[in-house]
Structure 1
Amino acid sequence: MNPRKSVNQQNENRTVTELITRSNRLGADPRNTNYAGGNTSAKGTAVDPVTGTDVELLWVKGSGGDLGTLKPAGLAVLRLDRMRSLVDVYNSWGARAIDREDEMVAAFDYCLHGKGGAAPSIDTAMHGLVDAPHVDHLHPDSGIAIATAADGERLTAEIFGDKVVWVPWRRPGFQLGLDIAKIKAEHPQAIGTILGGHGITAWGATSDEAEANSLWIIKTAQDYLDQHGKADPFGAELDGYGALPEAERRAKAAALAPHLRGLASTDKPMVGHFTDSAEVLEFLSRSEHRRLGELGTSCPDHFLRTKVKPLILDLPASASVEESVARLRELHDQYRDDYRAYYERHADADSPAMRGADPAIILVPGVGMFSYGANKQTARVAGEFYVNAINVMRGAESISSYAPIDESEKFRIEYWALEEAKLQRLPKPRSHAGRIALVTGAASGIGKAIATRLAAEGACVVIADLDQAKAEAAAAELGTKDVAIGIQADVTDPAQVQAAIDATALAYGGIDLVVNNAGLSISKPLTETTDADWDLQHNVMARGSFLVSRAAAAALIAQGMGGDIVYISSKNSVFAGPSNIAYSAAKADQAHQVRLLAAELGEHGVKVNGINPDGVVRGSGIFAGGWGAKRAAVYGVKEEELGAYYAGRTLLKREVLPEHVANAVAVITSDELSHTTGLHVPVDSGVAAAFLR
């Protein structure tokens, strides 16, 4: 082995390890930067595998990554000699250079080393052109508060002396990288910059020094705000705008959520997130919240997710749900008109088409904030970013006045060709992306298989079950709470059913898809079937499905986005078998509910369909609970042979599994069957006696 190559490989590994470690530490603390915000880099030497000579490299967080969870695969790797040669190309364009700087981003692809890793971000120039081995660019609330203060340049000098230099606002890109590189060269004593309207950049000779410098800037800014900021930066308390008691607040939020999601999804379906944090409630209780809200956010990472400004309800906390909804509809129309006017003021022939005029943030005094995105993570992050913006506004107003970047600059970034290209590179959404599903009896068996399939298709899933611990465990198997949550719900109790609908709305913004799967079976001959046997099965399946459908329908109608209600009925709903009267009668009740509700809810765009399984033995909670043994006894076979017995009497001779029922639910609720309602789909491998026609 080449000793020099071995040493260089060790140095390269150490450089990357230090960079990842530093990035993760910085990104793990929200005081330092927001989710997916900012970037870090390191420079070092490696051996060119083609020439065998040393080559200087830049490792920098790639486009779209998150510092807190960054891994080596998320780094872009570029050759510094080639990247720095771009300066000559850029300068050769003369006065036209600033208008062509986006071409530099495309040129980064020709500077990649080897396979290059992740795609280089727009901030790559900032890292590559600054003459320092390690560079951090972050979006701390305290730093942005200084960056968005009306007299931010004066404050920067006062707070940091000559250690940190003010950089007037400039859109991220190649020219900003040149600006910071020049500052670094002209101010050898400086450790970083405050980027006007944007954030901070710091550097160091070592990874530890860069991190220490970043943290010093953040802490020094926060200490200044704490020591010099006025106590009431958002103004006096507004009478009637204070936070409602928690239970009342969350009940009102749940009642509002479907209406608000419908408004926010006028152009395209959105998933929601609810936040009633102290920062939000306090902001909305103060006299300046409308003025500041109208100014919008400033940091590009913020407003790309929150839009240029929120929609704010201008009613006190005491306003009823009905009053609030009526006023929000009016404000929503105004918001859309304002957004279209904003687009038309700044768009030119080369601008991308307007992406949608609905708000991403809706603020309700006394209640909290509703944020929206294409999926739960995006919606949650949008809310987190607006909390960041509130903190920024508080800081700026406490020592000066909040002065975000101009509206025209926001438009230049929101409708930036590079941003549009990034959106176009996103993968095609899965069939149920953006949809919100509630599945009852979903901690095991058929219900769990349905929840698993819907989550795999992109839906957010609420797993409801009598056993909360099992529901939570089943949800955890599907991923984070951005994907699924588990809740306890007894479908025979109207209060618990409504609580499940409310929990769904608070978790994901509303509801699109309900699967009535909760069920049980007690197999007995007629003469041995007790009143309690009859009542229990009808309460869970017939009554329970009615209660769930009734509560869900109210939310679906309020939301105005259509939706699906699916009943997991049974072959037994149309087939007469022995020793099964209570179960089969309850299933027949469910089957007719499908027809009745399809007829009633069609005018609201809500489809209602049923699935009729049969012989689902393996993986079934009902069969595992003792029913399998009883049915085996009825048919004179061993319990372990029951699945094969059922398969043998079908036309296809195939055993039915929970996953097959889940497949049917996924298909019947997909766009491919958008015009199908009132249908019962058999999933029984072919039982001729159960044919519906």
Structure 2
Amino acid sequence: MPYQPDEYQHVKYLWEDHIADELSPVDNLVYRSNKLGEDQRITNTGGGNTSAKLMETDPLTGEQVEVLWVKGSGGDLRTSTRENFSSLYEGKLQALDEVYQAYPDKGYKSAGEDRMVGMFKHCNFCLNPRASSIDTPLHSMIDEKHVDHLHPNAVISVASCKDQKALTETIWGGKLAYVPWMRPGWEAARLCEETYEENPDIVGILLGQHGHTNWAGESKSCYETSLWVIETAARYIEEHDKGEMTFGGQKYAPLDENSRTRLLTEFLPVARGMISTKVKFIATVQTDDATLRFVNSADAPRLAALGTSCPDHFLRTKIKPLLVDFDPQNDDFEQLVDKFKAGLQQYREDYIAYYESCKHEDSPAMRDPSPTVILIPGIGMIAWGKNKSESRVTAEFYNCAIEVMRGAEAISEYTALPAQEAFDIEYWALEEAKLQRMPAEKSLARDVVVVIGAGDGIGKATAHRVAREGAHVVCADLNYTNAEKTAAELTEIYGQGIGVAGSGISACGPAIALQVDITKRETVEGLFSQVLLAYGGIDKVIVTAGVFVAEGADMAKNDQIFDLSFGVNVKGGYVVASEAQKIWQSQGLKGAMVLTTSVNGAVSKKGSLAYDTSKAAANHLVRELAVTLSPLINVNALAPATVVQGSNMFPRDRVISSLTKYNIAFSADESTEALRNKLAEFYAQRTLTKQPITPDDQAEAAYLLISGQLSKTTGQVISVDGGLHEAFLR
């Protein structure tokens, strides 16, 4: 049966006795789950569940009772902790079988199935609030202490073959029984229970079109049995692999990387605009060899049209992807767009017809009929989701679907679920209830916000502020190290997100760091190209980058300072806007831009001629851009007064110079931040509010200007200066 740990070729053997043996029984279950989930060939993100039947002390009677611990609804094996597991009295679960009564058949699946899910909470042990999985009865009815239910690509490949039952016997030699497809629930669990009781020598069951379940008397053995089932299937597939003739062989050659990148950066904003007719989507691009082998193959049109097989897959990928009829060797960008547009229209019509033909009287309303997976020969795959995490998981799931089709076609012929069965999963009342329970999206959850100058000061504060509202934040700065620190802070706070798809920047999370010099157009163009590859589009751009250089008394010797000031503070904003304009026009989606000017643009002062006049010019640039980019893009500015805290415009030597100039007492051994606070307090006393102006104050204004709350405001400069009356409009 199980292989030796060093014999596995298609899964990782990760069990370590010295760790597992020190754990409590429940924590050992968590450990087993994490180790299974750590290898994505074993089960996909959020899929599968594990269980253990353990003896616990009843808090009411003090007696020992058997409790089923099982991974709850919505958890992920790789990241699950004890809190992600339901705990239920096994005796009460068994008793539920006696009260189970199916409602009259409505022609699809008995409503009694869904009724039983509501009964699970009556079995909760110690008031555990974790919602139980639909697979809970499967784990309960298999009379073994430890049970794993998984969705490995290799096993689903077998479960998706036209002769899946015969292959089960051939591959596992009678150690796995077979049950045909049945929607997960009480009836499916009872069928598995009967199969288990009728076949005392089996260690698991292949679930048609779904995955497999296996068991053992102790946790490590259950883990090793799971690996054996998967490794055995994978080896059989490998023995029959078709090599260059996989998927019927190559029909198209992939584009070279430069051509592919150039085409993607043009196409992504167009595609995003076209599919975002109801709500906006975030993209994940997949261009790895396995994806390209499929999309470039002769059989891709046939297989893609069949759709995915495992229900865990098409809940994210929909019943099938959109395969664009694109010839990478002969078609150009305009033809790609035309063919995508035609394909998108047909896809939506087909999806509406699918919904109308399969719906029931009580079906949830039809969801967005746009595809979530787009396949393009020569280029790869673009997956879409409500955020980066979801689009990455969608890409991961279709990667799994490709591997399933590869395996099935190697050993037999791939088959998919019938449309009605697929519909009854996609529009399952329990899945709809799960969607309704999800928290409301934050205000910027579907937005890509580029913050230029995010390395410190106002830019860093702004990056944190928009991230708090759910934005996907591009932390751009001339100083890449500082930008990287900001992005790392955001990732630490908000997480990388679930799932990992692809490689490079396409596998990013909710924040990325990029370098840019806004005085050089090619670096701005490169910045936006990377953003498109990471997220698929751009919604908001906030420029906080600026420069202040102290001038000498001789005006004739300040030419370079003047050039630098206007280059960064004026031309830089223009360059950013002009490059972003191309993307915004391609998307056709409403957006916003915020520039950072200064109250110095309205107040004449001595000693900062270059800075002040450049900021005055920037104020007018805002008005010009508001006219130029209307009606699609709102352009506004925030005008700070002296923001000392955390600003690279106030290095220690400048702060000391200013403190000396204003006769403010200080000690040379004080920290830079302490010195900055003294100077900030001095400046605060010159304002009406008498409060220091902080980067967070500016960030709040920047967020407000892109939030949509001021959607009718454009061409305006908002002063955030504590009430500096010299800057009042005249």
Fold shared per TM-score above 0.5: yes
Matching residue within 278, 281, 296 for 2:292: 281
**Residues 532-563 of structure 1: per-residue CA shift (max 9 Å, x gap):** 11111111121111111111111111111111
Match of 1:145 in 2: 157
Match of 2:111 in 1: 99
Letter of the aligned partner of 2:409 in structure 1?
E
Q: Does 1:218 align with 2:230?
A: yes
**Residues 13-70 of structure 1: per-residue CA shift (max 9 Å, x gap):** 7211111111011000011011111111111111111111111101111111110111
> For the residues of structure 2 that align with 1:673 and 1:202, how far apart are their CA atoms?
57
Question: 2:566, 2:610 within 8 Å by CA — same for their partners in 1?
Answer: yes
1:94 deviates by 8.7
Matching residue within 388, 391, 397 for 1:385: 397
Q: Does 1:264 align with 2:275?
A: yes
**Residues 599-649 of structure 1: per-residue CA shift (max 9 Å, x gap):** 22222x211111111121011121127544455566554664321121111
Question: 1:564, 1:608 within 8 Å by CA — same for their partners in 2?
Answer: yes
Question: 1:132, 1:204 within 8 Å by CA — same for their partners in 2?
Answer: yes
Instruction: Select the structure that is richer in helix.
Output: 1
Equivalent residue pairs, number: 681
Q: Does 1:545 align with 2:584?
A: no
Match of 1:496 in 2: 523
Matches of residues 412-491 of structure 1 in structure 2 within 5 Å? Answer: 412-479=424-491, 480=496, 481-491=508-518
1:526 deviates by 6.3
Match of 1:560 in 2: 588
SS of residue matched to 1:486:
strand
SS of residue matched to 2:127:
strand
Question: 1:12, 1:44 within 8 Å by CA — same for their partners in 2?
Answer: no
> For the residues of structure 2 that align with 1:363 and 1:454, how far apart are their CA atoms?
32
Question: 2:249, 2:298 within 8 Å by CA — same for their partners in 1?
Answer: yes
Runs of 4+ in 1 over 4 A off after TM superposition: 10-13, 91-97, 629-640
Question: 1:41, 1:135 within 8 Å by CA — same for their partners in 2?
Answer: yes
Question: 1:311, 1:361 within 8 Å by CA — same for their partners in 2?
Answer: yes
> For the residues of structure 2 that align with 1:120 and 1:429, how far apart are their CA atoms?
24
> For the residues of structure 1 that align with 2:381 and 2:681, how far apart are their CA atoms?
54
Letter of the aligned partner of 2:262 in structure 1?
A
Q: Does 1:345 align with 2:319?
A: no
Cα 1:253–1:630, aligned 2, differ >3 Å: closer, same or farther?
farther
Question: 2:321, 2:375 within 8 Å by CA — same for their partners in 1?
Answer: yes
SS of residue matched to 2:713:
coil
Q: Does 1:575 align with 2:614?
A: no
Match of 1:74 in 2: 84
Question: 2:102, 2:110 within 8 Å by CA — same for their partners in 1?
Answer: no
Cα 1:281–1:264, aligned 2, differ >3 Å: closer, same or farther?
same
1:236 deviates by 2.6
1:321 deviates by 2.1
Match of 1:362 in 2: 374
Match of 2:562 in 1: 534
**Residues 62-84 of structure 1: per-residue CA shift (max 9 Å, x gap):** 11111011100111111111111
Match of 1:6 in 2: none
Letter of the aligned partner of 1:288 in structure 2?
D
CA RMSD of aligned residues (A): 1.9
SS of residue matched to 2:360:
coil
Letter of the aligned partner of 1:670 in structure 2?
S
Matching residue within 237, 247, 252 for 2:263: 252
Question: 1:254, 1:505 within 8 Å by CA — same for their partners in 2?
Answer: yes
Bigger shift: residues 632-641 or 197-206:
632-641
1:146 deviates by 0.4
Structure 1: stretches of 5+ with no match in the other structure: 1-9
Identity %: 41
Match of 2:44 in 1: 34
SS of residue matched to 2:476:
strand
Question: 2:309, 2:416 within 8 Å by CA — same for their partners in 1?
Answer: yes
SS of residue matched to 1:515:
strand
Question: 2:101, 2:112 within 8 Å by CA — same for their partners in 1?
Answer: no
Match of 2:682 in 1: 645
Letter of the aligned partner of 2:520 in structure 1?
D
Bigger shift: residues 173-182 or 618-627:
618-627
1:263 deviates by 2.0
Question: 1:437, 1:514 within 8 Å by CA — same for their partners in 2?
Answer: yes
Letter of the aligned partner of 1:520 in structure 2?
V
Matching residue within 139, 150, 170 for 1:158: 170
> For the residues of structure 2 that align with 1:634 and 1:228, how far apart are their CA atoms?
82
Q: Does 1:680 align with 2:717?
A: yes
SS of residue matched to 1:41:
strand
Question: 2:459, 2:544 within 8 Å by CA — same for their partners in 1?
Answer: yes
Question: 1:242, 1:284 within 8 Å by CA — same for their partners in 2?
Answer: no
Matches of residues 97-136 of structure 1 in structure 2 within 5 Å? Answer: 98-136=110-148
1:130 deviates by 1.3
Letter of the aligned partner of 1:685 in structure 2?
G
Q: Does 1:659 align with 2:696?
A: yes
**Residues 444-479 of structure 1: per-residue CA shift (max 9 Å, x gap):** 111111111111110001111122222222211111
> For the residues of structure 1 that align with 2:629 and 2:470, how far apart are their CA atoms?
25
Question: 1:622, 1:628 within 8 Å by CA — same for their partners in 2?
Answer: no
Matching residue within 540, 554, 558 for 1:513: 540
Cα 1:141–1:556, aligned 2, differ >3 Å: closer, same or farther?
same
Question: 1:263, 1:358 within 8 Å by CA — same for their partners in 2?
Answer: no
1:688 deviates by 1.4
> For the residues of structure 1 that align with 2:395 and 2:617, how far apart are their CA atoms?
43
Cα 1:583–1:403, aligned 2, differ >3 Å: closer, same or farther?
same
Letter of the aligned partner of 1:168 in structure 2?
P
> For the residues of structure 1 that align with 2:266 and 2:690, how far apart are their CA atoms?
49
**Residues 198-218 of structure 1: per-residue CA shift (max 9 Å, x gap):** 111111111111111111110
Letter of the aligned partner of 1:652 in structure 2?
T
SS of residue matched to 2:487:
helix
Bigger shift: residues 494-503 or 620-629:
620-629
> For the residues of structure 1 that align with 2:283 and 2:389, how far apart are their CA atoms?
9
SS of residue matched to 2:408:
helix
Q: Does 1:236 align with 2:249?
A: yes
> For the residues of structure 1 that align with 2:123 and 2:700, how far apart are their CA atoms?
47
SS of residue matched to 1:567:
strand
> For the residues of structure 1 that align with 2:333 and 2:455, how far apart are their CA atoms?
34
Cα 1:626–1:316, aligned 2, differ >3 Å: closer, same or farther?
farther
Question: 1:73, 1:117 within 8 Å by CA — same for their partners in 2?
Answer: no
Q: Does 1:21 align with 2:28?
A: no
> For the residues of structure 2 that align with 1:437 and 1:78, how far apart are their CA atoms?
45
> For the residues of structure 2 that align with 1:99 and 1:161, how far apart are their CA atoms?
37
Question: 2:150, 2:211 within 8 Å by CA — same for their partners in 1?
Answer: yes
> For the residues of structure 2 that align with 1:386 and 1:177, how far apart are their CA atoms?
27
Q: TM-score, normalised by structure 1?
A: 0.95
Bigger shift: residues 617-626 or 211-220:
617-626
Match of 2:186 in 1: 174
> For the residues of structure 2 that align with 1:654 and 1:505, how far apart are their CA atoms?
40
> For the residues of structure 1 that align with 2:653 and 2:328, how far apart are their CA atoms?
53
Structure 2: stretches of 5+ with no match in the other structure: 1-19, 497-507, 666-674
> For the residues of structure 2 that align with 1:631 and 1:153, how far apart are their CA atoms?
82
Match of 1:5 in 2: none
Question: 1:46, 1:55 within 8 Å by CA — same for their partners in 2?
Answer: yes
SS of residue matched to 1:671:
coil
**Residues 352-394 of structure 1: per-residue CA shift (max 9 Å, x gap):** 1111011101112111111111111000010011011000011
**Residues 456-507 of structure 1: per-residue CA shift (max 9 Å, x gap):** 1100011111222222222111113411011111111111101110111111
Match of 2:206 in 1: 194
Letter of the aligned partner of 1:654 in structure 2?
Q
**Residues 318-371 of structure 1: per-residue CA shift (max 9 Å, x gap):** 332222122211211111111111111111221111110111011121111111
> For the residues of structure 1 that align with 2:655 and 2:253, how far apart are their CA atoms?
57
SS of residue matched to 2:541:
strand
Cα 1:510–1:627, aligned 2, differ >3 Å: closer, same or farther?
farther
Match of 2:320 in 1: 309
Question: 2:552, 2:558 within 8 Å by CA — same for their partners in 1?
Answer: no
Question: 1:242, 1:282 within 8 Å by CA — same for their partners in 2?
Answer: no
Question: 1:77, 1:117 within 8 Å by CA — same for their partners in 2?
Answer: no
Letter of the aligned partner of 1:57 in structure 2?
V
Q: TM-score, normalised by structure 2?
A: 0.91
